[in-house]
Each structure stands twice: as C-alpha cells, then as structure tokens.
Amino acid sequence: MNKLKFISLLFCVILCIGGCNNKPQQVNVLVSLPLTGDAAAYAKLLKDGIEVGLDQMDKITRDKINVIYQDDRLSSREAINVLQQEMARRKLSVAMTTSTELAMTIGGICNDNQIVLLPPIADGNQITKDKEYVFLITPTSAYQGIALAEKIKEGNYSKVAILHLNDSWGNELSNEFQNKFVELGGEIVAKETCEAGQTDMRSTLLRFNNRLPNAILLILHPTETVPALKQIKELGVIAALFGGDTFSNKDLYRPEVIDLVQGVRFTLPTHPDNAIFEDFKKLFIAKHGYTPDINATAARDAIMLVAKAVKDGATDGTSIKNKFNSYTDGVEGATGLIKWDRNRNVVSKEYSLYVISNNEYKISDLYGK
C-alpha cells in the first residue's frame, strides 16, 4: 500500500513538473523611463501607451511578454545602471528608453548583449549606426530638420537664430536644419547652445535680438523652454517662434505656461489617421481619461511590434531582431506604416508643421494667422 502511495505521489510530482515546464517562455522587456523628475510627463505618456498596447494583445501573446518598468530619471548614468541591474536579474530580450541621448548611451550595451533596443520617440541620426539590434519607431532628426527648414522657408522667414540643447538630439537636429535652410537660401544669423537645466538665456537672447532674426528656432526640452519663452517676452524680442517635437510635451500646456506658447509652430511626426489609431484612441481614453498624442501612440506601436514578433515565433532578442528584419514591407501601426531601411531607421513617415492654439496644437496651414 505504501509503495502504491509512493508511486501515485511520484506520478503527481511528474505531472506537476510537466505542467510547470509547459508555461510559455517569457520575453522580458525593460522599459527604462524618467518616472520621476522634470521629464516625468514623457514617461507617463509612454507608459500609458504601452499599457494600452498590452491590453490589445491576444491572451496567448500577452502571457509571453513580461514588461519591467524602471526609473532612469533621464540620466545616462542611471540608464546604464538600470540596464545592467536588470541584465543581472534576468535575460532581457528588448529594451526601450526615451531620448536620443539615452538611446545612444545604452545602444552599444544592448547590441553587445543581443538585446533589441526599440526607443519609441528617440530620433537621432546615429542611434542605429553599426548596431544591428537597434531599431527606431520615429523618423530620424534628419527628416525633422529638413521639414523644419522647408516649412520655415515656405513662410518667407529668411533669417533664423537657433538656440538648441547641447546634447545628441539638439546638436543633430540643429545641424540638419541649418544645412537644409542654408541650401534653400536662408541665413542663420546666430546659433548658440543651452545646457540641460539651464534657466538663464538672457545674454543669448539679447545677442539674437541684435542680429535681427525674423524667426527663432528653439530646440529645447520643456525645462529650458519655459524660461526661454519668459525671457523672450521680458526682453521684448520680436520674432516668429518655431520649435522641435518637444513642443508637444504636456508640461507646456499647463495653465501657468500656456500663454507663453501661443502661436509657436513646431514639427512633429504627422498625426496618425487610420483605423488602428482610432481603435487605440478609444481604448486609451477609456483607460486613462485623456487623448493620446504621437508619443503615447509610438510607445503603443513599439510594444505591438514586439508582440508581432513573439506571435510569429520569436523568443529572444536575436529572433526578434530577425523577425523585424523579415518585415520588408513594413508593419502597419497606429502611427502609420513602420518600414525600416537597411540601417533600421524609419523611412515611411513624414513630419508636419503644427501650431499651438489655446490649449492644443493643430496642423498649421497658414503663416501669420
């Protein structure tokens, strides 16, 4: 009898082990965001977009994807620490981060460890260079710089002063703009840098004013943008104001700031207009209570690209990379068609010019109105 009990118990243990082994192998996705600090608004948008994307997956695929959120505070040092700590804890297949600077910082580590880096809103020209595991979702700053130059020139602004952040994103975008604007016959009357967190730009703006630009291009994050706009107003600097994609940031639409940004025009990937976006938008509003912008939508597309690869049989970074490379016709997303060139940069999207009016931004069709 005891022998029979032992055999039955052993049989149960074997069944249990077999059942455990039948659990789906999970793909670990590290989402490194500035959950605290000045850039937390970006983190909320991206996290909210990813969460809705997870809700849109079928159950089998969802059960195979494990998302880990960590706070990097938009710091290169913290981004490296977060990545290395998670690599020590578990096998990572995918990583996501926020800015061009951080994507440049951790891209090499990801590439060396066969981790796909998929930063939803980073757009630096050099992010993917020589890194076969790095793919972009947003068109590069080369596209944005060209679009900015063309739009500003079309508005008959011929003399531009540039104030840009002194980092990978700011330097690349300002250079791309300058090259195209000069090619189109425009003149850069002044070009100066701003350090992250800098709040006093008065001397720079006074120099700008002396050069009589008819437009000023601000390539800054909200932390630097708000004091710059306040000082432009205080100093009586008269020029049309333009900016990069960071002018879509919710921090610039707060009641105490909104008056400063009225009439500013800026480039942003063209707002999606497709059924995938409309479905996402409905779910997003129901879950979070506000309308998703292009940043949240790009984050949704990033996690859904991972889901597609997993559904197609990918189980780790290398197989996800290979699946991505096999999608030669592109993948339809809420942001539009995502199609990569041989350098894994997106070549299927465009930038449009938007203008801030009241507490929202909309397509800018006419200048001076």
With respect to residue 298, please indicate whether it lies within any of the assigned structural domains.
Answer: yes
What per-residue confidence (pLDDT) applies to 272? 87
**Residue 250 has what DSSP assignment?**
G
My answer on whether 265 and 171 are in the same domain is yes
Q: Which pair of tokens denotes residue 127?
A: 């992010």
Residue-range definition of the domain harbouring residue 151 = 141-271+352-363
With respect to residue 184, please indicate whether it lies within any of the assigned structural domains.
Answer: yes
CA distance linking residue 48 with residue 25, whole number of Å: 25
Cα–Cα separations (whole angstroms), residue 223 to 100, 226, 228, 289: 17, 6, 9, 25
Cross-strand bridge partners of residue 321: none
My answer on whether 119 and 212 are in the same domain is no
My answer on whether 176 and 251 are in the same domain is yes
Cross-strand bridge partners of residue 363: 354
My answer on whether 131 and 197 are in the same domain is no
With respect to residue 19, please indicate whether it lies within any of the assigned structural domains.
Answer: no
CA proximity to 333, closest of 135, 198, 197: 135
My answer on whether 44 and 77 are in the same domain is yes
With respect to residue 16, please indicate whether it lies within any of the assigned structural domains.
Answer: no
My answer on whether 146 and 256 are in the same domain is yes
Tally of domains in the chain: 2
With respect to residue 103, please indicate whether it lies within any of the assigned structural domains.
Answer: yes
My answer on whether 265 and 322 are in the same domain is no
Cross-strand bridge partners of residue 336: 333
My answer on whether 160 and 214 are in the same domain is yes
My answer on whether 225 and 278 are in the same domain is no
> Is 31 buried (19+), middle (13-18) or exposed (0-12) by CB count in 10 A?
buried
Cβ pair 290, 283 in contact under 8 A: no
> Is 37 buried (19+), middle (13-18) or exposed (0-12) by CB count in 10 A?
middle
What per-residue confidence (pLDDT) applies to 5? 53
CA proximity to 93, closest of 128, 119, 66, 56: 66
Terminal Cα distance for the chain, rounded? 92
My answer on whether 108 and 154 are in the same domain is no
Number of neighbours of residue 293 by Cβ within 10 angstroms: 17
**Residue 270 has what DSSP assignment?**
P
My answer on whether 203 and 277 are in the same domain is no
CA proximity to 102, closest of 43, 47, 50: 43
Q: What is the pTM of this model?
A: 0.85
Residue 87: CA count within 13 A, CB half-sphere? 18
Backbone angles phi, psi at 27, to 5 degrees: -95, 115
With respect to residue 84, please indicate whether it lies within any of the assigned structural domains.
Answer: yes
With respect to residue 238, please indicate whether it lies within any of the assigned structural domains.
Answer: yes
**Residue 157 has what DSSP assignment?**
-
My answer on whether 356 and 213 are in the same domain is yes
Q: What is the CATH number of the domain that holds 213?
A: 3.40.50.2300
What per-residue confidence (pLDDT) applies to 1? 47
Cβ pair 93, 30 in contact under 8 A: no
With respect to residue 322, please indicate whether it lies within any of the assigned structural domains.
Answer: yes
- Return averaged pLDDT per consecutive 10 residues of the chain, 369 residues in all: 51 47 78 94 95 98 98 96 98 96 97 98 94 96 93 96 95 96 98 96 97 97 96 96 94 94 95 94 97 95 98 98 98 97 94 94 70
